[in-house]
Structure 1
Amino acid sequence: MTKYVMWGSYCEDALERRKPYRQAHLDGLSQQKESGVLVTLGPTKDNTKVFGIYDAEDEATVRQLVENDPYWKNGIWTEYQVKEWIQAF
């Protein structure tokens, strides 16, 4: 498998706006983690950016996971980038 990093941005007022979608978002992340595709994911301390590491077959898989997340579908995440990552250490 190949490792990928994902950087994205949160909308304004994300902490409030995410409330209706938070449990579905966390449930989906738990399933991804259990399956081994998600290594880690979380916000920056100021809640403006999201960072994730995935262990996936290809970039398309990561993009599909991001775009099916309730935060993406409901505008909590406003943009993202995926890059193949070489874990040196």
Structure 2
Amino acid sequence: MSKYVMWGTYCEDVLEKRKPYRQAHLDGIAAQKEAGLVITLGPTKDGTMVFGIYDAEDEAAVRKLVESDPYWENGIWTEYDVKEWIQAF
């Protein structure tokens, strides 16, 4: 398994627009964390970006996790990028 970082952006008015999808999003992330797929995931303090660290077989697996998230499926996350990460420390 390799580690990957994901940076993404949120839609305008994210706090209001995410409400219908928030619990499903949190439940999915909790399941991924329990399975060892996501190490951490969360928004920047200003609420404009999301950052995550994943432990996955390859970039395609991370993209599948991101694109199956209710936030992506419903336009709460508007774009994202994934890069393989080398954890030096």
What TM-score range do you get, normalising by the shorter chain? over 0.9
Map 1:2-81 onto structure 2 (within 5 A): 2-81=2-81
Using structure 2 for the length normalisation, give the TM-score.
0.99
1:37 & 1:28 partners in 2: Cα distance? 11
Runs of 4+ residues deviating >4 angstroms: none
Cα separation, 1, equivalents of 2:37 and 2:29: 10
Distance 1:23 1:37 in 2: 19
TM-score (norm 1): 0.99
Separation in 2, partners of 1:63, 1:29: 14
CA RMSD of aligned residues (A): 0.2
Stretches of structure 1 lacking an aligned partner (at least 5 in a row): none
Distance 1:61 1:24 in 2: 20
Give the paired residue count: 89
Between the aligned residues of both structures, percent identity stands at 80
